[in-house]
A = this chain, B = another copy of it.
Amino acid sequence: MATLKLPSTIPSPSEDCEQLRKAFAGWGTNEDLIIQILAHRNGDQRKKIRETYHETHGEDLLKDLDSELSSDFQHAVLLWTLEPAERDAYLVNQATKKLTASNWVIMEVACTRSSHQLLSVRQAYHAKYKKSMEEDVAHHTSGDFRKLLVPLVSAFRYEGDEVNMTLAKTEAKTFHEKICDKAYSDDDLIRILTTRSKSQLNATFNHYNNQFGNAITKDLKADPENEYLKLLRSTIKCLTVPEKYYEKVLRLAINKLGTDEKALTRVVVTRAEVDLQRISEEYKRRNSVPLDRAIAGDTSGDYEKMLLALMGHGDAC
């Protein structure tokens, strides 16, 4: 469930644009007003605001936001204002750059979006970067990581609920054999993980648990420091229990000595319209602290206000 809170009556895009212009005008910026508007509009509404802004003022709202705001707050607002597919394309592109490289972000986008959303991300990637997403991912990764990530971002999984139980049993056995042999990047293991539907994989992992006595992610903990194994475990979590994966990302980001703002922003912004409510529940259960309180304790100023607004705090107007 989403946390995004919309006002009972939505102002027209031109009214919103006018207010945003007011927020930018004069000496100093009215950050509260920006939050009040943008943090309480859904994807379609933000898209219309950007279009209207461009038509009315001949300028790109993102550019104006970029010049008016700064640091973590700026990053959160810009990321939020982008359309989801465009935003994911941007996140993956950043994740393939040397200084901001992250196999995690690539895997996360590939595994937690629906098949059609992932396609839209790939289309947005073409439009923005004049290259294919898999091309950049393949070019910037290597070894086992590449072997896993390229098919993950190229997948177009079937999304029906149908489950083939015979197949689930066979493939649970395959997983078990490969894991016993420590063949973690085995072709078959990666093939199953990157092509089967999420429902089918869920059945396979359930069967694994029943048949072999441990959750598969537990059996994949043989070498806790192995980065590839970590990514493999997270992949399985993202495909089957994304809220648990995200809870952990948030926990690590917040508990870190010096908050990891990049990760915190990414999760709040990309999930606010999807399942942030569910992630919050998971967070509360695991940390005995409500997520909004944890975020408030670790952030400040406009950045804090923005994140909390996306979590449903404050009045939408």
A interface, CB within 8 angstroms of B: 115, 119, 122-123, 126, 130-135, 138-139, 146-147, 150-151, 154-160, 162, 187, 191, 194-197
Is A191 a contact partner of B146 (Cβ separation < 8 A)?
Answer: yes
User: Can you list 28 A-B pairs, Cβ within 8 angstroms, ordered by A?
Assistant: A122-B156, A123-B156, A126-B158, A126-B159, A126-B160, A130-B158, A130-B160, A131-B197, A132-B155, A132-B157, A132-B158, A132-B195, A133-B156, A134-B154, A134-B194, A134-B195, A135-B158, A135-B197, A138-B195, A139-B191, A139-B195, A146-B187, A147-B187, A150-B151, A150-B191, A150-B195, A151-B151, A154-B155
Q: Is the CB of A138 within 8 A of B197?
A: no
Question: In the bound complex, what is the Cα–Cα distance between A193 and B11 (angstroms)?
Answer: 50
Query: Please, which residues of chain B bring their CB within 8 A of the CB of A157?
Result: 132, 135
A145 to chain B, nearest CB (A): 12
Contacts A151-B150, A154-B155, A160-B130: A135 and B195 contacting too (C-beta < 8 A)? yes
Provide the bound-state CA to CA distance between A138 and B192, in Å.
Answer: 9
In Å, the complex CA distance between A123 and B160 comes to: 12
How many copies of this kind of chain does the complex include? 2
CB nearest neighbor in B for A159:
B126
- Report the bound CA distance from A123 to B159 in whole Å: 11
Return A85 CB to nearest CB of chain B, in Å.
Answer: 13
A214 to chain B, nearest CB (A): 26
CA gap between A122 and B130 in the complex, in Å: 22
Q: How far is the CA of A138 from the CA of B155 in the complex (A)?
A: 12
With A150-B151, A151-B151 in contact, is A156–B132 under 8 Å at CB? yes
Q: Residue among A131, A138, A156 with the most chain B CB within 10 A? A: A156
CA distance A131 to B187 in the complex (A): 20
The smallest beta-carbon distance between A119 and chain B, in angstroms, is 6
Contact between A196 and B151, CB atoms less than 8 A apart: no
Contact among B147, B162, B187 with A130 in the assembled complex (CB-CB below 8 Å): B162
Contacts of A130 in B (CB 8 A): 158, 160, 162
CA distance A126 to B155 in the complex (A): 12
B155 touches A134 (CB 8 A): yes
The docked-state distance in angstroms from the alpha carbon of A256 to that of B133 is: 42
